[in-house]
Amino acid sequence: MTASAHGPTASEYVVHHLTHLNTLGGPQKDIVDFSVINLDTLFFSVLLGGLTVYLLYRAARKATSGVPTRFQAAVEILVEMVADQAKGVIHSAESRKFVAPLGLTVFIWIFFMNAMDLVPVDLLPRIWEGIYVAAGGDPHHAYLRVVATADINATLGMSIGVLLICIYYNVKIKGFGGWLHELFTAPFGSHPLLYPVNFLMQIIEFLAKTLSHGLRLFGNMYAGELIFILIALLGGTATVLGFVGHVLAGTAWAIFHILIITLQAFIFMMLTLVYVGQAHEGH
Amino acid sequence: MNLNATLIAQLVVFFILGWFTMKYVWPPIVKALDERSAKIAEGLAAADKAKADLALAEKKAVEELRKAREEAAQLRAAADKQIAKLMEEARAEATRLIAQAREAAEQEARAAVERIKDDLREEVARLAVAGAERILRREIDAKAHAELLANLKQELV
């Protein structure tokens, strides 16, 4: 972008990078608009999700009890890790049959989506711009964001998925009546005066869990992406200082980001397991 | 930063991926892991058993060796005893034979001495008679003086 003829300002560059490729063809005006869909998020999310299950499926197809290949051993390490964590927080073996595999997939999937942050920040948008222009589009409208987890829709979508699983297990383990009873009597106790307070607390708890679950991942990845964009701006100044700064800061941030993308993927998986585990326990 | 239908799409993808992993990924891998654990446990147990067997066999071997040695010692002792007995018998036999031989030799020697004595006596008697004959000439009649000669012979013994 920085090299284009008209030379966008720093502000234009950042805003362009933070605009989704959606069905509107431009920035979304309303805060909530369910008639719009972010095509870039969906594309990368499905692509990397497909890659995740493809890799796992390949490992599963060739899994033997004999001497494992390195690839198989690597997948097995992940499986063991997730299985151990799941065993620690979910005490129902029946529930683990679904939640543990889900945790594994979520971990690898989110890791891949986060890892898109490490692809040079202008590479894919630039390629997309080329395609878009070749197809007769206006380069100013060639939006593309490659980090699906830096889209709040993706992270909240997944955290709401976890919420639905929690509700499912709440009902399954305690029965619908039992769960309703818990909603009104926990955490403060069974007294008609306390029912509204309890219920309010429970709703706040569910909301807080779900929002913090999704927003934590979104915030980390969004901030990371933004810093990569800012570092790219440094190089975009085309000065010696800017170049050196870009190389140094870009290297340092990318190395640090390896930790963040792994950690955030792990945290999301762990919280998924923990929340589902909590759904199994009565207050 | 705006909410839209991507959220719902992501939700659906989330469940599809979870379902796929649950159905096609997790079970075979976990099964392989469990099987390998079982195999390793079996292998370790077999190794332990083999070790125990080896120790047992070694103990048995030592025991057998000790028994064999004892038996050999016993055999040797018996053989020694037998040899001693045989030697003793042989020695006794030899002693007996030597004694017999000596006895026989002594008897023979005695008989020979006796014979020689007799012969010598005869000779002396004959010489005495011949001497006397020569001295006395005809005065002595061998036949008449036979008794005298016999007495003389007796005295010479």
Q: How many domains does chain B have?
A: 1
Confidence of residue A86 (pLDDT cuts 50, 70, 90): very high
Residue B54's pLDDT is what? Answer: 96
Positive or negative, the Cα torsion across B59, B65, B69, B70? Answer: positive
- The answer, yes or no, to whether residue B43 has pLDDT greater than 70, is yes
In a domain, B91, yes or no: yes
The CB density around residue A239, as the number of other CB atoms within 10 Å, is 11
Interface test with B, best of A38, A87, A143 (most B CBs within 10 A): A38
- Does A153 sit within 8 Å of B26, measured CB to CB? no
Average of pLDDT values for A53-77? 90
Chain A CB contacts of B10 under 8 Å are: 41-42, 45, 148, 153-154, 157-158
Residue B138's pLDDT is what? Answer: 60
Average of pLDDT values for B111-115? 90
Residue of B nearest to A77 (CA): B33
Chain A CB contacts of B5 under 8 Å are: 34-37, 153
Give the minimum alpha-carbon distance from A279 to chain B in angstroms, rounded to a whole number.
Answer: 18
Read off the tokens for A56.
């796992």
Positive or negative, the Cα torsion across A174, A180, A181, A184? Answer: positive
**Contact yes or no for A120/A282 (Cβ under 8 A):** no
Read off the tokens for A253.
């941030």
Average of pLDDT values for A10-39? 85
Residue A3's pLDDT is what? Answer: 45
Give the minimum alpha-carbon distance from A137 to chain B in angstroms, rounded to a whole number.
Answer: 23
Whether residue A187 is preceded by a cis peptide bond, meaning omega within 30 degrees of 0, is yes
Residue A38: strand pairing partners = A22
Q: Which of A74-88, A136-150, B135-149 has the highest mean pLDDT?
A: A74-88
In a domain, B1, yes or no: no
Give the H or E element holding residue A32.
Answer: strand A32-33
Average of pLDDT values for A22-49? 88
Residue A2's pLDDT is what? Answer: 43
- The answer, yes or no, to whether residue A4 has pLDDT greater than 50, is no
Q: Which of B3, B20, B38 sits opposite A152 (nearest CB)?
A: B3
Chain B CB contacts of A161 under 8 Å are: 11, 14-15, 18
Average of pLDDT values for B13-38? 92
**Contact yes or no for A20/A89 (Cβ under 8 A):** no
Percent of chain B with pLDDT over 90: 62
A147: Cβ–Cβ under 8 A, 6 or more apart, which residues? A44, A113, A114, A116, A117, A221, A224, A225
- The answer, yes or no, to whether residue A283 has pLDDT greater than 60, is no
**Contact yes or no for A54/A72 (Cβ under 8 A):** no
**Average pLDDT across chain A, whole number:** 89
If 0-12 CB within 10 Å is exposed, 13-18 middle and 19+ buried, where does residue A115 land? middle
Chain A CB contacts of B32 under 8 Å are: 63-65, 76
- Mutual angle of helices B146-156 and B26-136, in 10-degree steps: 140
CA distances from B145 to A64, A139, B129, B151 (A): 143, 190, 10, 10
- Residue count of chain B, please give it: 157
Read off the tokens for B62.
């030592």
| Nearest residue to A273 via CA among A152, A95, A55 | A95
Instruction: Classify each residue of A72-95 as buried b or exposed e, where b means 16 or more C-beta atoms within 10 Å of its C-beta.
Output: beebbebbeebbebbeebbeeeeb
Read off the tokens for A78.
């992940």
* Pairing of β A32-33 and β B3-4: parallel
Read off the tokens for B120.
């010598």
Residue of A nearest to B26 (CA): A101
Positive or negative, the Cα torsion across A52, A221, A82, B18? Answer: negative
Nearest-angstrom CA–CA distance, A157 and A154: 5
In a domain, B69, yes or no: yes
In a domain, B118, yes or no: yes
A68: Cβ–Cβ under 8 A, 6 or more apart, which residues? A76, B36
Q: Which of A36, A46, A100 sits opposite B5 (nearest CB)?
A: A36
Q: Give the helix ranges, DSSP H, for chain A.
A: 10-17, 39-62, 70-89, 93-115, 123-134, 152-185, 195-236, 240-280
Q: How big is the CA angle at A14 (ends A13 and A20), to the nearest 5 degrees?
A: 100
Read off the tokens for B34.
């469990």
Q: Which of A144-158, A238-252, B56-70 has the highest mean pLDDT?
A: B56-70
**Contact yes or no for A268/A213 (Cβ under 8 A):** yes
Give the H or E element holding residue B105.
Answer: helix B26-136
The range of the structural domain enclosing residue B29 comes to 6-156
Nearest-angstrom CA–CA distance, A107 and A222: 18
Average of pLDDT values for A133-149? 86
- The answer, yes or no, to whether residue A99 has pLDDT greater than 70, is yes
Residue A50: strand pairing partners = none
Residue A32: strand pairing partners = B3
- The answer, yes or no, to whether residue B157 has pLDDT greater than 70, is no
Domain residues of chain A, as ranges? 10-280
